[in-house]
Structure formats: C-alpha cells, structure tokens
Amino acid sequence: MREKIVAGNWKMNKDWDQGLSLVQEIQKIMSVEESNGAKVVIAPPYIHLAKISDMVTSSDWLYVAAQNCHQESAGAYTGEISASMIKSIGVEYVILGHSERRAYFDESHELLARKVKAVLDQGLIPIFWCGEPLPIREANQQSSFVNQQLSDSLFQLSAEYIRGLVIAYEPIWAIGTGRTASSAQAQEMHASIRQHLSGQFGKEIAEQIPILYGGSCKPANAVEIFAGPDVDGGLIGGASLSANDFMAIVRSL
Ligand code: PGA
C-alpha cells in the first residue's frame, strides 16, 4: 500500500504568530476527527520549522517539511541551511525543485540532483517537484518533458536510495491560477511518471512512490483530482493557508 499524503506549501507566507495559529487550528480540527490514514505535511518558511516540529512531535499523522535546502553539508554559504540542520530539529521532509525555485533561483537539474542526494543522505524524504509549463502542454509534450526532469535529477541514484522518495507533479499552468488539470489529465501524468520510474528502478519501487498532484487544488475540486488510482495526495499552496480549506482537502483524500 502506498502512503497517502497531503502537503501544505506555505511558500513565503505567514509571520511567526500567524504560522503558529495556523498549526494550532489544524491540530484543533484534527483532534476531533479520525485520521483517514493520510499523512499531513506542513511546509512553513524556515523560521517556523523548529517550533512547528516541536508542536507536532506527539502526532502520528502530522509532519513537517522544509521548502528547500542547500546541497552542501556545511560551510561558507551565507543565507543557506543544510539537510543535516533540518534533520537536527526533527523535520522529516524537504520539498525540492519547486517550479518557483527553478524559475527565480535558477535551480538546474544538476543542482537538484545534488540536493536530492544531500537530503536522502540525511535520511530525510525529498518531495521532488516536477511539472510542465503551458507551451509544453499545448504542444502535448508534457510526458517527455516531465520524464526528462525526473531522469536528469533522480536517475543517477540507486533503486534502494530512491525508495524513500515522494514526487509532486504540478503543471505550472495550474499553480496559483485557479486552473487545474482534470482528473483524467492528472491520472494520465501520474501513471506516465510511475511508468518512467518503473523503467529505471523496477516496478516494485515505482509502485511504492507516492505521487502527489498540485496546482490550484481546493476543497471544491480535491475529490475529483484525487480519484485517479495513481494520485496519492496533493501538494497544496494557496488553500493550505486556511486550516479549514486545508483540512477539507485532507478529508477529500
Ligand atoms: P497552488 O500552489 O495550490 O496555490 O496552486 C501549489 C504549489 O505551488 O505547490
């Protein structure tokens, strides 16, 4: 059985107090609801990581992710934090290669390959992002484009290493636009990603890797999007900034 995961990517939102109250609201909702077996992952800005990690230690379904980390383990890299630092505060997940990191911070396939390795070396779980821009979708090249992203950043790793990975597929044209992939489009891409992983790492491992959908996922469309057999949850941006919306999406899964 593959894990089901809903991860909330806060991006650069929520100051200290706002972030802590959002987590408290999520915990309050969770305290009166049964876990449906899904893992819930919160990815706040760096400043919140240590505190939120402490707040969720007693939960068996709430986890924390960093939104990025540096590829080196330590050194003179002003402004950066390493995977081992993230590990040292009890955080379990790291989102890597989000389209915003690729676009605004020039993160290349090669750099991401190093970051994935750094994160896995620490026993952390990368949530590795992939997805295509609109012109690629319009040219119907999305599968080969995304497969290339995966090959370039993940295929240097051994199958055993890759076992711990989570993939997030987000069509860039759906991020923050209110436009989502249809359930059929999401399922088609997730199946194609799984097949590509299977070709490299074998079916058994590919079947274990959770593949999350992201891009304008909201309470109103989550049930439909999550319906596909290869859609194992979501990476949620805007809607993760409201505890009610975020938890409604968790419930949909
Ligand atoms: P969105 O963002 O849900 O606001 O579209 C998703 C993401 O970028 O992870």
* Rounded average pLDDT over 19-30: 95
* pLDDT on residue 83: 98
Confidence band of 68 (pLDDT split at 50, 70, 90): very high
Between 102 and 57, the more confident residue is 102
pLDDT, mean over the chain = 95
* Rounded average pLDDT over 49-76: 95
Between 34 and 211, the more confident residue is 211
Q: Examine the pLDDT at 197 and tell me if it is beyond 90.
A: yes
Per-residue pLDDT tens digits for 132-183: 999 999 999 999 999 999 999 999 999 988 988 999 999 999 988 888 889 9
Q: Whose CA is nearest to atom 1 of ligand 1?
A: 237
* pLDDT on residue 35: 65
Q: What's the 188 CA to ligand 1 centre distance in angstroms?
A: 20
Q: How far apart are CA 46 and CA 90, in angstroms?
A: 13
Q: Whose CA is nearest to atom 2 of ligand 1?
A: 237
Return the DSSP state at 2: P
State percent of the chain over pLDDT 70.
Answer: 99
Q: Which of 174, 209, 180, 181 is nearest to 195 (CA)?
A: 209
The alpha-helical segments, DSSP class H, found in 89-133 are: 99-104, 109-121
* Rounded average pLDDT over 224-240: 97
DSSP string, 78-94: TT--BHHHHHHTT--EE
Q: How far is CA 125 from CA 83, 149, 168, 180, in A?
A: 10, 18, 12, 26
Q: What's the 218 CA to ligand 1 centre distance in angstroms?
A: 10
Neighbours of 99 (CB within 10 A): 19
